Amino acid sequence: MAKLKVTFENLGFTDVRTHIASGNVIFRSDETAIALLTEKIEAAIEQDFGLPVKVVLRNYNAIRELVEGLPPDWVNDGNMKCDVMFLRPEIDDPGILEKIPHDPAKEDVIYLPGAVVWRIDRDKVRQGQVLKIIGTEIHKQLTVRNPNTVRKLWELMREYGA
């Protein structure tokens, strides 16, 4: 994560901060075009680390709206499994729910702009259908974080302000 932070700093971003060892980076940039930022970051990561990595970016307002849309009782804990699947722009559409297998009797799946959120009781995880997307084309176009992490990222972003 320290080397990743340097990569972002070398791109001219400021207030660069990482959170847990899963590629979460918070930063400031004068550039607001998400597609351009994504392209720059992907190229820098490939140059610095020697491998292509698909990046999923969300700005302050997008994370705020996502956190506000997350049901407050959806958490990742001993009783419940909950994942926030951040969608790349190519698949970011409410219609994505029709392409993700799920059993409404056992699991909840909702679309929020930029993400699909999945919730299931821990004792039913093996009966759930959402995990069937692993290895599919859809799965290659998203990145997953648990809602606890997403809420923490929002908290860290709020420290920077809008």
pLDDT at 159: 86
Whether residue 118 sits in one domain with residue 70:
yes
Give the count of beta carbons closer than 10 Å to the beta carbon of residue 98: 8
Range of the domain at 21: 2-49
Whether residue 64 sits in one domain with residue 43:
no
Please write the tens of the pLDDT for every residue from 11-31: 999 999 998 877 899 999 998
pLDDT at 19: 87
CB 9 within 8 A of CB 16: yes
pLDDT at 162: 53
What's this model's pTM, rounded to 2 decimal places?
A: 0.91
Number of separate domains in the chain = 2
* Between 131 and 71, residue with greater pLDDT: 71
CATH of the domain at 82: 3.30.70.1260
Rounded to the nearest integer, the mean pLDDT of the chain is: 93
Whether residue 86 sits in one domain with residue 141:
yes
Burial class (CB in 10 A: 0-12, 13-18, 19+), 155: exposed
Q: How far is CA 119 from CA 13, 18, 141, in A?
A: 35, 26, 20
Please write the tens of the pLDDT for every residue from 56-106: 999 999 999 999 999 999 999 999 999 999 999 999 999 999 999 999 999
Structural tokens at position 3: 């080397």
What is the Cα–Cα distance from 130 to 118, expressed in whole angstroms?
8
pLDDT at 32: 86
pLDDT at 77: 94
Reduce the DSSP state of residue 96 to 3 states and report it. Answer: helix
Indicate whether 37 pLDDT > 80: yes
Whether residue 116 sits in one domain with residue 67:
yes
Structural tokens at position 107: 């699991």
pLDDT at 22: 78
In sequence order, the 6+-apart residues with CB closer than 8 A to the CB of 9 are 16
pLDDT at 2: 85
